[in-house]
Amino acid sequence: MARGRQAFVVDTNVLVAANRRQGEPLACANACAQGLLRIKTAGLLALDEGGRILQEYRRYSSFSGQPGIGDSFFKWVHDNLGRQDLIHRVRITPSDRKEFQEFPDSSELAGFDRSDRKFVAVALSHAQKPPVLNATDRDWWDYREALQAAGVRVVFLCPEQAAL
């Protein structure tokens, strides 16, 4: 593990908001850009070994690294996949019942978005138990207390948008 670097899990909506693809307020886009920059310069990104998160990033970002900050972050991730000092890949185990075995077995999280469960599974599987960065996804806001009770920290970069 890279000394002194905090790990983070990044929901795809942070890249999207940093790019202002859905008309996010400038303050939100700036908060997302700052979060992504922090990871690139002093942090670690936690991803799943199976490439599920990277595949989702690919659907919303450009390999060219342009035109937005989220695209630039995606290119950085892609270009540095082999650098264990920057990117940690953890194993998560598919499960028919709850999407991933590492996802908390909690009735309070039964309605949590299945497509976001990979981020939770990665956060709980990583040695640092890193926080998940979220920008505008309401699901994270609605389940924040149940996630916290399950040991998942969520950092809301755009709390005003997530709570809408």
Is the residue at 144 inside a domain?
yes
pTM of the model: 0.94
Count of residues in the chain: 164
Question: Which tokens sit at 126?
Answer: 């990583």
| 13 Cβ contact partners less than 8 Å away, ≥ 6 residues apart | 134, 135, 136, 137
Is the residue at 26 inside a domain?
yes
Is the residue at 126 inside a domain?
yes
* Domain coverage including residue 143: 6-162
Number of domains in the chain: 1
Q: How confident is the model at residue 162 (pLDDT cuts 50, 70, 90)?
A: confident
Please report the DSSP string for the chain in residue order: --TTPEEEEE-HHHHHHHTTTT---HHHHHHHHHHHHHHHHHEEEEEETT-HHHHHHHHHS-TT--SSHHHHHHHHHHHTTT-TTTEEEE---EETTTEETTS---GGGTTS-GGGHHHHHHHHHSTT-PPEEESS-HHHHHTHHHHHHTT--EEESSHHHHT-
Is the residue at 1 inside a domain?
no
pLDDT tens string 41-88: 999 999 999 999 999 999 999 887 788 999 999 999 999 999 999 999
Say which CATH number the domain at 55 has: 3.40.50
Is the residue at 78 inside a domain?
yes
Is the residue at 136 inside a domain?
yes
pLDDT tens string 86-140: 999 999 999 988 899 999 999 999 999 999 999 999 999 999 999 999 999 999 9
